[in-house]
Structure 1
């Protein structure tokens, strides 16, 4: 994935089970367009290592989850070890800028 791309994970839950799941890689400009049409709330930031681990476990969960999926998805989200989003005028050297947050 290029740095100007965003990975968008969409889950639809019905009656405690995953009804549909969609994973898209979109350009940063397409993501900006979506942000203007829909309300996105940043959950936090994570490391590339945690994101890769999340992707592997997400794939397994999607294939196996038939009941009580909402709690399993919540545990999967916790596995990301999210850090709080910090809004600053400039980014630290280790951070990447997302325009107009």
Structure 2
């Protein structure tokens, strides 16, 4: 909170997000970090979905003024975005249009 309340330009990168490091056991599971970060006023949370978005997020976070928590994962995930993808902090992405169901996800 001493970083976020005064909106200091501090970047925090958290590795092993979620259950991505399941091989090292429960002591390496970071499942409450999202709740903690979301409870801190003025903190921006970024959870990239794939390697391309992770690279774009690193550059976007560097340009962003204010406190940011970048949650990183060790999980192997499929490529979702192409090289032309533009990362915009604070904006969601529509991956597929439809009427049957809505999913809202982080990462």
TM bracket, shorter-chain basis: 0.3 to 0.5
Per residue, is there more helix in 1 or in 2? 1
Per residue, is there more strand in 1 or in 2? 1
TM-score, structure 1 normalization: 0.33
